[in-house]
Amino acid sequence: MQFILKYKLLLLGVVLGSLAGYAYYYYVGCKTGTCAITSNPFNSTVYGAVMGALLLSSFKKEDSNNTQSENEKR
């Protein structure tokens, strides 16, 4: 439970990105099959999950204890 609370933005990004990636495959996709990402639902879903995780994890606030210890090392 503590893991989920600690990484809630990352996990939310993975879930939303996965849904968005699959939706993109389903509704837009690649008719010819030559597109590396959107021609396969697995690739599209994984790509969406990674992009969602990266996007939402960038909004995480930095821990003030980490920042203070970094400044003390300098």
Q: Pick from 59, 45, 57: which is nearest to 17 by CA?
A: 45
Task: Give dist(CA 50, CA 13) in Å, integer.
Answer: 8
Residue 44 near residue 53 (C-beta atoms within 8 A):
no
Residue 53 near residue 21 (C-beta atoms within 8 A):
no
Q: What are the tens digits of pLDDT across the range 7-41?
A: 999 999 999 999 999 999 999 988 888 898 888 99
- pTM here is 0.76
